[in-house]
């Protein structure tokens, strides 16, 4: 932690590398640094892509540059494990500068503005950096301000409100779960795009299992249990992929969790949560003793307000090639891209090799020959010791690795998948993925 108190909004922004300011663009000078490839973002996508490029053997010292203001790099999928009391947040982060190969130039700065017509960017300190190819992968922002009163509730130690969605808030989740002995527990999920759409209910299932083991919740007798559980989601279903949604709905009913569908959390005041309904007029209020809140998320402002963005504010790239639809030397993958798939680390394992292959082909004047099919995955914890391993591609079509290998149905939670989620994925992430040597279902890269 930093040696001084900061607001949640500021600290979350720093942790997620989303603090950006704009600078007035000026012509790039001959003394400004220039690189063959500039990668915006030192998160999962940025590190995987920059190191895969480096490992191609086609780049010399400082041909590749990474730009990111963050001090720390976080394994964000692990924050669910922190919220469930299974790991500490400290073991899931490393200093960012130590993860970047010395052959890559690292600018520990914020981005100010893009000048894609002139092939340079302006840093927040007003320095210019030019490029031959640009990869934009800064992730997305977590906007606490989208829920009135959330920042204050998260900062209050005894509020009963917590969230797994930032480094600074995830450590509050499990103590808050443990503290609840009776009352109403609400778990929220917003409408719209968020990181890992299964995470809001992952933490719910872990909390339910904890309270069940503690004798505080009995799915066969919810009315007689000290704790009542509700899942309030801005979506009309439990999950976006029909196959897995059906299984999760079955679990919800089996475990007697109240489903509040199309309930979008918009405000917190004391122990009252206010939800918006689809018509935009009706508001529903619910009393709670425990609330796990998930705010809305979106592209960083410096991307959203740039010429690179589509109408929704994401980097406007081709769904298959990851190349920008207007600027042929601009590429994007990960959460900031317009790729219409769930925003997960697993998606990046499939996106990064496609982007890298096509960028290298483009540099050599060749046709792009790699295609991304929308593959993504959500290892969805359904209790301590079991995970439903959702894997799918564009169109919500299942693409199950273990189903193909062993003929099993991955919609059924399994203990083997739990060990992948808890142990293997965090290990392979820091040992291989951020180093550019892991491609998910395709295994290790040369």
User: What does the pLDDT look like over 67-78, one tens digit per residue?
Assistant: 999 999 999 999
**Are 265 and 288 in a shared domain?**
yes
Asked if residue 304 is part of any domain, the answer here is yes
Write down the pLDDT at residue 200. Answer: 97
The token pair that represents 200 in the structure block: 């809001």
Residue 32 has pLDDT above 60, yes or no: yes
DSSP bridge partners of 231: 187, 259
Asked if residue 20 is part of any domain, the answer here is no
The token pair that represents 153 in the structure block: 């509730």
**Are 196 and 285 in a shared domain?**
yes
Work out whether the CA dihedral 211, 212, 215, 218 comes out positive or negative. positive
291, with CB counted inside 10 A (0-12, 13-18, 19+), is buried
CA distance 325 to 143: 28
User: What does the pLDDT look like over 148-188, one tens digit per residue?
Assistant: 999 999 999 999 999 999 999 999 999 999 999 999 999 99
Residues labelled as active-site residues: 196, 378
| CB atoms near residue 443 (< 10 Å) | 9
Asked if residue 25 is part of any domain, the answer here is no
Total count of domains within the chain: 2
Write down the pLDDT at residue 28. Answer: 53
**Are 242 and 308 in a shared domain?**
no
Q: Which domain holds residue 83?
A: 34-140+299-373
CA distance 236 to 189: 11
Going by pLDDT thresholds of 50, 70 and 90, the confidence category of residue 203 is very high
Asked if residue 5 is part of any domain, the answer here is no
DSSP 236-297: SSS-SSHHHHHHHHHHHHHTT-EEEET-EEEEEETTEEEEE-TTSS-EEEEE-SEEE----E
Going by pLDDT thresholds of 50, 70 and 90, the confidence category of residue 8 is very low
Write down the pLDDT at residue 406. Answer: 84
Q: Which of 344, 373, 402 lies at the terminal end of a domain, its last residue?
A: 373
**Are 218 and 313 in a shared domain?**
no
DSSP bridge partners of 93: 74
Task: Provide, for the chain, the percentages of residues in helix, strand and coil under a 3-state DSSP scheme, each rounded to the nearest 5.
Answer: 30, 25, 45
**Are 157 and 290 in a shared domain?**
yes
Q: Which of 373, 397, 418 lies at the terminal end of a domain, its last residue?
A: 373
The DSSP output letter for 341 is: S
**Are 284 and 340 in a shared domain?**
no
CA distance 166 to 236: 26
Work out whether the CA dihedral 426, 431, 436, 437 comes out positive or negative. negative
Going by pLDDT thresholds of 50, 70 and 90, the confidence category of residue 3 is very low
Residue 5 has pLDDT above 60, yes or no: no
**Are 248 and 115 in a shared domain?**
no
**Are 112 and 40 in a shared domain?**
yes
User: What does the pLDDT look like over 123-135, one tens digit per residue?
Assistant: 999 999 999 999 9
Going by pLDDT thresholds of 50, 70 and 90, the confidence category of residue 280 is confident
The token pair that represents 126 in the structure block: 């007003």
Write down the pLDDT at residue 30. Answer: 58
What number is the average pLDDT over the span 285-305?
Answer: 98
The token pair that represents 8 in the structure block: 């949640």
Asked if residue 368 is part of any domain, the answer here is yes
Work out whether the CA dihedral 402, 408, 413, 414 comes out positive or negative. negative
Contact 298, 143 (CB under 8 A): yes
**Are 174 and 268 in a shared domain?**
yes
**Are 200 and 271 in a shared domain?**
yes
Q: Domain containing 205 — which CATH number?
A: 3.50.50.60
Asked if residue 90 is part of any domain, the answer here is yes
User: What does the pLDDT look like over 222-269, one tens digit per residue?
Assistant: 999 999 999 999 999 999 999 999 999 999 999 999 999 999 999 999
- Alpha-carbon distances, residue 383 vs 100, 196, 260 (angstroms): 36, 18, 21
Q: Which of 279, 296, 313 lies at the terminal end of a domain, its last residue?
A: 296
The token pair that represents 431 in the structure block: 């040992």
- Exposure string of 377-392, with b = 16+ CB inside 10 Å and e = fewer, is bbbbbbbbebbbbbbb
Tokens 């992968």 belong to which residue? 137
Asked if residue 416 is part of any domain, the answer here is no
User: What does the pLDDT look like over 306-324, one tens digit per residue?
Assistant: 999 999 999 999 999 999 9
Asked if residue 75 is part of any domain, the answer here is yes
**Are 304 and 291 in a shared domain?**
no
**Are 203 and 244 in a shared domain?**
yes
């Amino acid at each position: 932690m930093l040696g001084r108190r900061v607001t949640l909004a500021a600290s979350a922004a720093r942790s997620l590398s989303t603090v950006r300011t704009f600078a007035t663009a000026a012509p790039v000078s001959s003394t400004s640094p220039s690189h063959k490839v500039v990668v915006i973002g030192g998160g999962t996508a940025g590190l995987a892509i920059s190191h895969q490029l480096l490992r191609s053997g086609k780049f010399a010292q400082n041909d590749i540059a990474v730009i990111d203001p963050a001090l720390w790099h976080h394994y964000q999928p692990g924050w669910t494990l922190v919220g469930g009391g299974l790991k500490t947040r400290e073991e899931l982060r490393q200093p960012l500068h130590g993860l970047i190969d010395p052959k890559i130039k690292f600018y520990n700065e914020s981005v100010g503005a893009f000048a894609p017509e002139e092939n340079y960017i302006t840093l927040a300190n007003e320095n210019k950096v030019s490029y031959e190819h640009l990869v934009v992968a800064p992730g997305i922002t977590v906007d606490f301000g989208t829920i009135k009163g959330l920042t204050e509730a998260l900062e209050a130690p005894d509020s009963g409100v917590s969230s797994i969605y930032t480094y600074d808030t995830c450590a509050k989740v499990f103590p808050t779960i443990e503290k609840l002995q009776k009352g109403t527990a609400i778990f929220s999920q917003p409408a719209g795009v968020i990181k890992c759409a299964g995470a809001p209910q992952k933490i719910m299932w872990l909390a339910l299992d904890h309270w069940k083991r503690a004798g505080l919740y009995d799915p066969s007798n919810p009315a007689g249990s000290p704790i009542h559980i509700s899942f309030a989601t801005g979506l009309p279903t439990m999950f976006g992929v029909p196959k897995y949604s059906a299984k999760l709905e079955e679990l919800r009913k089996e475990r007697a969790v109240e489903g509040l569908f199309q309930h979008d959390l918009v405000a917190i005041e004391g122990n009252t949560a206010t939800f918006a309904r689809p018509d935009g007029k009706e508001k529903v209020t619910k009393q709670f003793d425990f609330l796990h809140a998930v705010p809305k998320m979106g592209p960083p402002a410096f991307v959203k307000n740039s010429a690179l963005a589509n109408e929704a504010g994401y980097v406007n790239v081709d769904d298959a090639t990851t190349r920008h639809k207007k600027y042929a030397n601009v590429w994007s993958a990960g959460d900031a891209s317009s790729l219409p798939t769930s925003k997960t680390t697993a998606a990046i394992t499939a996106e990064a090799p496609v982007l890298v292959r096509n960028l290298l082909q483009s540099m050599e004047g060749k046709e792009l020959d790699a295609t991304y099919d929308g593959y993504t995955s959500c290892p969805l914890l359904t209790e301590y010791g079991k995970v439903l391993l959702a894997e799918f591609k564009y169109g919500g079509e299942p693409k199950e690795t273990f189903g193909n290998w062993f003929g099993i149905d991955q919609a059924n939670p399994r203990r083997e998948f739990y060990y992948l989620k808890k142990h293997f994925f965090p290990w392979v992430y820091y040992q291989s993925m951020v180093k550019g040597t892991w491609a998910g279902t395709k295994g290790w890269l040369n």
